[in-house]
Amino acid sequence: MRFVHSLFTIFIILILALGGLGLYTVNMVTKPSALSEDRLIEVPRGWGMNRLAHYLEDEGIIESALMMKLWARATAQGAELKSGEFMIASGSSMLSVLEEFTEGVAHQRQVTVPEGATSYEIVQILNAEANLTGDVILNIPPEGSLLPETYNYTKAETRADIISRMTNAQKQVLDKLWPTRAENLPFETREEALILASIIEKETGIGGERARIAGVFVNRLRIGMPLQTDPTVIYALTLGKHQNDGQGPLGRRLLSKDLKVDSPYNTYRYKGLPPTPIANAGRAAIAAALNPETHKYLYFVADGTGGHAFSKTLAEHNANAAKWRKIRKAQGN
């Protein structure tokens, strides 16, 4: 009986010890850490649980690398470790930290490409984005082939990845909008739609004006009237390699002599659309080019409010232009 009683006592002690160890372990992995603020932690490709656990302990994010490794092995989470950047919230428990690196979503960064940016300008934006990896972009993508938007990305993505996504996004937008185009447009191809959309994009940043300005250019194309749009002349002079000093794409005002430059992009000298887009148009400008407003306007000029005054006759246009010159003179421009 004494032997049986001793075995029973040992059994009880083991149960209590294991229970105590279990409670201790659960407490270790679930209690809040001493991390006082959110931290962005990067897990490079190739890191294993051993290296990550010791790194987190050294950084004061977890209390015990050994405990994390044991818990990860016991729960089979160590094999699911992800690479990338992850945001660890202040006070996160060891369990929460482990779950972030095995089940969480990598931290997203953003790069914004403005509508109407040329391909050259977009390349400069991406090359300057320090958190993108990969070689700097040397080859300029075809004008008009990229969709300007705000793109989320992870630090593991390259500049070439973003260019590829922008190219695919532009194709998808055009694939979706092209079948919705109005009938009897004075152009026949998707490339021509992008050319017109790029001009619209450079002429106005006001959403409510895009379709109306598209209608002006469509009316001119139908009667064989030159488009006479300044942005095409600017493109003829720069080929999209615009200055970025806050003084406009030329670094100066467009002059009357500029309108005489001999270039297929100069729509003052040559009728019809220029040979390629002059910028990268957003989806709203593409939609406007494919579904222009129906009206009889042939002219438009800035009205001093950021928008434009539209007219059907040259006499009306000249009067509006005179008003604009007075406004510009009063502004000292």
Per-residue pLDDT of the chain (333 residues), as tens digits, is: 433 334 443 444 444 344 444 554 565 666 666 666 777 777 777 788 888 888 888 888 777 778 777 777 777 766 677 777 777 777 777 777 777 777 767 778 889 999 999 999 999 999 998 888 888 888 999 999 999 999 988 877 899 999 999 999 999 999 999 999 999 999 999 999 999 999 999 999 888 999 999 999 999 999 999 999 999 999 999 998 876 665 678 777 888 898 889 999 999 999 999 999 999 999 999 999 999 999 999 998 888 788 898 999 999 888 888 888 887 777 765
How far apart (Å, rounded) are the C-alpha atoms in residues 224 and 327? 32
Which amino acid belongs to residue 164?
A: S
Place of tokens 């005002």: 253
For 146, which DSSP code? Answer: S
* Contact status, residue 198 vs residue 277, Cβ threshold 8 Å: yes
How far apart (Å, rounded) are the C-alpha atoms in residues 163 and 136? 11
Strand runs (DSSP E) across the chain, as ranges? 39-43, 84-88, 109-112, 150-153, 299-302, 308-311
Measured at the alpha carbon of residue 309, what is the angle toward residues 250 and 332, in degrees to the nearest 5? Answer: 50
H/E element holding 171? helix 159-177
- Domain architecture of the chain: domains with CATH: 30-107 (3.30.1490.480), 109-168 (no CATH), 185-330 (no CATH)
Based on C-alpha coordinates, what's the Rg of the chain? 31
Neighbours of 191 (CB within 10 A): 16
For 47, which DSSP code? Answer: -
Burial class (CB in 10 A: 0-12, 13-18, 19+), 15: exposed
Kindly report, residue by residue over 261-288, the tens digit of the pLDDT.
999 999 999 999 999 999 999 999 999 9
Burial class (CB in 10 A: 0-12, 13-18, 19+), 140: middle
pTM of the model: 0.79
